[in-house]
Amino acid sequence: MTTHTGIGKTGQAPAAGAATRRPPTGKPALGIGLIGHGFMGAVHSHAWRTAPHSFELPCKLSMNVICGRDEERARNAAVKLGWRSAASGWREVIQRADIDIVDICAPPHLHGEIAVAALAAGKHVLCEKPLANSVGDALAMTEAARLARAQGIRSMVGYNYRRLPALALARQLLRDGTVGDPRRLHASYLQDWACGPDVAQSWRFDPGIGGAGALGDLGCHLVDLFRYLCAGDRIQAVACVQTAVRDPGQQRDVDDAAVLLGLSASGIPVSFDVSRVARGYKNALRLELDGSGASLRFDLERMNELQLFSDDVGVGTQGFRRMLISEPGHPYLSGWWPPGHLLGFEHAFVHQVRDFVLSVTSAADPAPSFEDGLAVQLVIAAAQASWECGSAWTQVAHPPVASDGNHRQEQR
């Protein structure tokens, strides 16, 4: 197993030869390097720590280095989050011989530069959402991923909500015909953390760092879920309205709330609304999908449940049925607790690590791929262009590489 280097000097890589990819116990190990130790850095750390204990993986995971901008803070994060060493420069992380996977949890303006360099250095890359802040960066990342794929190097975007058991089950119900043909999709993602005056220092209000405000930050999840659930379909035209807080002393350069209307290639009307100033809503991602055979309802604040309405019973007893998604046969539940002992926000990230590691070790392409991330970015870009043109209907550019939004599901 990789030698423990201690948390001494930041950026201290193990001595050459100390990092072996085949520990004494026999199972090979993948060395992980994590960039960013904020909110997502902590959640991803938990996932790297937990996945091998909950799921059968063909290799060990060695949490070799965590990276931030400040030396002391990175060192403290390494101790707290369980990493073998700390670094204060991401370039040294991607050059380390004991790193196989680079996990990017830095703000979005850095995703492109780090991912392209890591892929060129032969590292597999897991990149937090959104893939990038601009279509140009997303295209460069997609091209780098394409070239790396030819060398067996994998890349994936962290659209974690795909890995919630309830939404993975929703997708199964769409694929097995239970829901029938989708006829309407409405989703909202509402938060209220940006109501206060003291939040303006966050990078999320700087378009050069955070990108397109609530639309880019929250809306990207909804676009990805559309692509995940309605695989094979695509949003082809959008119209968008946005607003930003205009209180005195609080001029914001990015949208705080947005509503997006879309039309899919197969004719499904889609509506998304997002806000970071929706008082009372903490992390409310809600989704309604009506199909020709059944309707589905999901609410992230009740993430262990999926509601299904179907007319397989008499009219007199019809209604939305609340299904508790905690049976061993439900997606991902084989790794967890007995029925009724519920999962939380962090579990989807554990599933994400599981799926990514299985893809890396089986030489399979993970999803959502960078092409999928680019496809989301093209919808967000079209929505912004629409708003800039008086909310005119705007065509979404086709991604240059076809992708159906599939991802590797738990096998059973």
Ligand X SMILES: NC(=O)c1ccc[n+]([C@@H]2O[C@H](COP(=O)([O-])OP(=O)(O)OC[C@H]3O[C@@H](n4cnc5c(N)ncnc54)[C@H](O)[C@@H]3O)[C@@H](O)[C@H]2O)c1
Interface residues with ligand X (CB under 6 A)? 35-41, 67-69, 90, 105-108, 110, 128-129, 158, 160, 217
Strand partners, 67: 35, 87
Q: Of 273 and 290, which has the nearer Cβ to ligand X?
A: 273
Q: Which amino acid is at 1?
A: M
The span from the CA of 319 to the CA of 328, in Å, is 25
Q: Of 219 and 291, which has the nearer Cβ to ligand X?
A: 219
Min separation Cβ 114 and ligand X, Å: 8
Min separation Cβ 247 and ligand X, Å: 24
Min separation Cβ 41 and ligand X, Å: 5
Concatenating the DSSP letter of every residue in 282-300 gives SSEEEEEEEESSEEEEEEG
Q: Of 120 and 147, which has the nearer Cβ to ligand X?
A: 120
Q: Of 155 and 264, which has the nearer Cβ to ligand X?
A: 155
Q: Please report, for residues 45, 47, 351, the alpha-carbon distance to residue 63 in angstroms, rounded to integers and kept in the order given.
A: 8, 11, 17
Q: Of 69 and 322, which has the nearer Cβ to ligand X?
A: 69
Strand partners, 237: 263, 395
Q: Of 39 and 337, which has the nearer Cβ to ligand X?
A: 39
The span from the CA of 218 to the CA of 190, in Å, is 8
Min separation Cβ 132 and ligand X, Å: 10
Categorise residue 344: left if φ over 0, alpha if ψ from -120 to 50, beta otherwise.
beta
**Which two tokens mark 282?**
């903490």
Min separation Cβ 199 and ligand X, Å: 12
Residue 389 DSSP class:
T
- The 3-state secondary structure of 122-159 reads CCEEEEECCCCCCHHHHHHHHHHHHHHHCCCCCEEEEC
Min separation Cβ 67 and ligand X, Å: 5
